Amino acid sequence: MKRYFKDIWDSFYTIAIGMGVTFRHLFRKSVTIQYPDIKPELTERARNRLYVNMDDCIGCDQCSKACPVNCITIETVKAVPPDDLGVTSTGNPKRLWVTKFDIDIAKCCYCGLCVYPCPTECIKMTDVYEFSEFDRHNLVYNYSTMTPSEVEEAKGKFEKWQADKAAAKKSSTEKKKEGSEKPKAKQQESGEGKRSDSPEDKKSES
């Protein structure tokens, strides 16, 4: 019987305490903010959308290797002697044309692992977080600043350079081994109509 009345008392008492707590909160200042009107201040280290400063990129592929979800795709073409790409702001010489630097931001997991290995500090995470799109394909960001014709030109130059080099090499070996059989150079038609591209050269390039 005592228990019965204690239960009733407990119910009313604890409910009253709870109601007191909620009532006090009724007049407290809200902790939320009106988001699109007022934006939260992000910290310096905020890790949101990736940004690549292409002026500084040397195409070293370190970020792409560090990425655990493979969201960065980089393709490069070696710059050949007459072209000088200059140096980055950190003083590293640029030796490669970065023909393709795609980040699929839809895949990105914002872990920031790509930021650390970059030797020129050109890839970084910014505080931009509003970049939703209606079409998923728009989330593939092309950072490369080169136009398709420039890419073709760079490729062409490289192939020409390679071919020239191969020809020079060939002629030098031919000079050495005069009379011996000629190595078969595989003829390949490229877009610009360049001459040849032998597998040996690729090997030596890599």
Partner 1 sequence: MVETLEQFLPHPLLAIIMHAALPMVIVFPYVLFAVWLERKVSAHMQDRLGPMRTGGWHGWSQTIADMIKMIQKEDIVPSRSDKFLFKFAPFLAFMGAYAAFAVIPFSSEYIGAHLDVGAFYILAVTSVVTLSILMAGWASNNKWSLLGAMRTSAQIVSYEVPTVVAVLSVIVATGTLNLMTISEMQTGTIFNWLIFSNPFLLIAFVLYFISSLAEVNRTPFDLPESESELVGGFQTEYSGMRWGMFMLTEYADMLLVSLLGSVLFFGAWNSPFGDFMSGPVWGVFWMVSKGMFFIFVMMWLRWTLPRLRVDQLMDVCWKYLIPIAFINLVLVALWEMLF
Partner 2 sequence: MPELRTEEMTINMGPQHPSTHGVLRVELVLDGEIVVDAIPHIGYLHRCFEKHSESMNDYQQVIPYVDRMDYVAAMSNELGYAIAVERMLEIEVPERVEYIRVIMAELQRIASHLLAIGTYGLDIGAFTPFLHCFRDRERILEIFESACGARLLYNYIWVGGLSHDVPSNFKDKVRDFINYFPPKIKGYNDLLTYNKIFIDRTADVGVLPPEVALNYAASGPVLRGSGVDWDLRRNDPYSIYDRFEFDVVVGKGEMGTVGDCWDRYIVRVREMEQSVRIIEQAVEQMPDEGDVKAAVPKRIRPPEAEIYARTETPRGELGYYIISDGSMSPFRVKGRSPCFVNLSVLPAISRGSMIADIVAIIGSIDIVLGEIDR
Q: Give the residues lining the site for partner 2 (CB under 8 A).
A: 7, 10-11, 13-15, 17-18, 20-22, 25, 31, 42-47, 65-66, 68-69, 109-113, 116, 125
Confirm if 46 and 127 have CB atoms less than 8 A apart.
Answer: yes
Nearest CB to partner 1, comparing residues 25 and 175: 25
Q: Which of 6, 9, 10, 15 binds partner 1 (CB under 8 A)?
A: 15
Q: Which does 26 bind (CB under 5 to 8 A by kind): partner 1, partner 2, none?
A: partner 1
Going by C-alpha positions, the residue among 154, 96, 155, 104 that lies closest to residue 120 is 96
Give the count of residues interacting with partner 1 (CB under 8 A): 17
CB of 93 to partner 1, least distance (A): 54
Window 19-58: contact mask with partner 1 (x via CB under 8 A): x-xxx-xxxxxxxx-x------------------------
Q: How far apart are CA 155 and CA 86, in angstroms?
A: 19
User: Do residues 111 and 63 make contact, with C-beta atoms less than 8 angstroms apart?
Assistant: no
- SS percent in the chain: helix, strand, coil, step 5: 35, 15, 50
> Nearer Cβ to partner 2, position 113 or 139?
113
- Partner from partner 1, partner 2, none binding residue 35, C-beta < 5-8 Å depending on class: none
> Considering the rule CB under 8 A, would residue 1 count as an interface residue with partner 1?
no
In this structure, the chain runs to a length of 206
By a kind-dependent CB cut-off of 5 to 8 A, residue 111 interacts, out of partner 1, partner 2, none, with partner 2
Helix-then-strand count for the chain, H and E: 4, 5
- Contacted entry of partner 1, partner 2, none for residue 28, CB cut-off 5 to 8 Å set by kind: partner 1
CB closer to partner 2, 87 vs 109 = 109
State how far the Cα of 69 lies from the Cα of 113, in Å rounded to an integer.
Answer: 11
* Residues 30, 23: Cα–Cα separation, whole Å: 14
Provide CB contacts within 8 A for 131, sequence distance 6+. 49, 105, 139
Question: Is 187 an interacting residue with respect to partner 1 (CB under 8 A)?
Answer: no
HSE at residue 184, side-chain half, CA atoms within 13 A, is: 1
CB atoms within 10 A of CB 98: 24
Which residue's CB is nearer to partner 1, number 18 or number 119?
18
Binding site for partner 1 (CB under 8 A): 7-8, 15, 18-19, 21-23, 25-32, 34
